[in-house]
Amino acid sequence: MLNFTELYAMQKSLDEKIEKQHGLENKKLIQERILALYVEIGELANETRCFKFWSTKPASDREKILEEYVDGLHFILSLGLTFSYEVEQLSEQQQRNDVSLTSLFNTLYETLAKFDKEKTKSNYINLFENFLIIGQKLTFSNEEIIGAYIEKNKVNIVRQRTGY
């Protein structure tokens, strides 16, 4: 079971750096974060190529897909912080072997749209759980997700220092 306490703390620090650097301390940036999450989910789906029935090109390598996955995780954590919906742990979801990755992405988009309409804690948890189900389907271990998140967080901090 993933424990997110440390990741929320890291995300909070990164968000504060970004907001301070760009003079956004008093802005919630809710719609920006939601749109960014939509985009990151799309980038993740694009790297998996799960929906590209017309193409024979294989999915990107595992590391690239994991990097895109944790990009989405950054924005999910950031949304949780925005609404004080930090969840320490989420229950392990049943692996859905009978459901395609494409269907899981469509469900994730639906749960994000639902959260956008009603920003309740239960909708946030549902969004987060559906995101984690995709990670399971992609066979990412908790250790891989945490390690990749920590590494990408370091990259994001450097990017802010260098005017990304």
- Please give the average per-residue pLDDT across 130-143, as a whole number: 94
Measured between alpha carbons, how far is 163 from 156 in angstroms, rounded to an integer?
11
To the nearest whole percent, how much of the chain has pLDDT over 90? 75
The burial class, CB within 10 Å (0-12 / 13-18 / 19+), for 53 is exposed
Across the chain, mean pLDDT equals 92
Burial of 19 (C-beta count, 10 Å sphere; 0-12/13-18/19+)? middle
Would you list the domain boundaries of the chain?
Answer: 5-161
Q: Give 22-41 pLDDT, tens digit per residue.
A: 889 888 899 999 999 999 99
CATH superfamily placement of domain 5-161: Type II deoxyuridine triphosphatase (1.10.4010.10)
pLDDT greater than 80 at residue 1: no
Decide if pLDDT at 97 tops 80.
Answer: no
* Element at 144 (helix H, strand E): helix 142-161
In tens, the pLDDT along 51-77 reads: 999 999 999 999 999 999 999 999 999
DSSP state of 89: B
Q: Whole-model pTM?
A: 0.92
Instruction: Assign 82 a pLDDT band (cuts: 50, 70, 90).
Output: very high
Q: Would you state the pLDDT for residue 87?
A: 85
